[in-house]
Amino acid sequence: MGTNADTLQCAGGTLGQHRHVCAFFNSFDEEHRVLRSFFKEGFERGEKAFHIVDPDRWEDHLRQLADGGIDVGRAMGSGQLEMLRWQDAYLRQDRFDQEAMLTLIEEVLQTSAASGYPLTRLVGGCAWAMLDRPGVEDLVEYETRLNHVLAKYKDPVICTYDLAKFNASVVMDVMRTHPLVIIGGVLQENPFFVPPDQFLLELQERRRAAQIH
- Quick check: is 121 in a domain? yes
How do residues 51-74 score in pLDDT, each as one tens digit?
A: 999 999 999 999 999 999 999 999
For range 118-127, the mean pLDDT: 96
Q: Domain tally for the chain?
A: 1
How do residues 16-37 score in pLDDT, each as one tens digit?
A: 888 999 999 999 999 999 999 9
For range 170-199, the mean pLDDT: 94
- Quick check: is 7 in a domain? no
- Quick check: is 82 in a domain? yes
**Is pLDDT at 4 greater than 90 in this prediction?**
no
- Quick check: is 8 in a domain? no
Q: Write out the residue range of the structural domain in which residue 90 sits.
A: 20-212
- Quick check: is 6 in a domain? no
29: domain CATH number is 3.40.50.300
- Quick check: is 73 in a domain? yes
- Quick check: is 149 in a domain? yes
Percent of the chain with pLDDT over 90: 84
- Quick check: is 4 in a domain? no
- Cα–Cα distances in Å, from 95 out to 12, 89, 143, 148, 171? 36, 10, 16, 23, 21
pTM metric for this prediction: 0.92
Output the pLDDT for position 2: 35
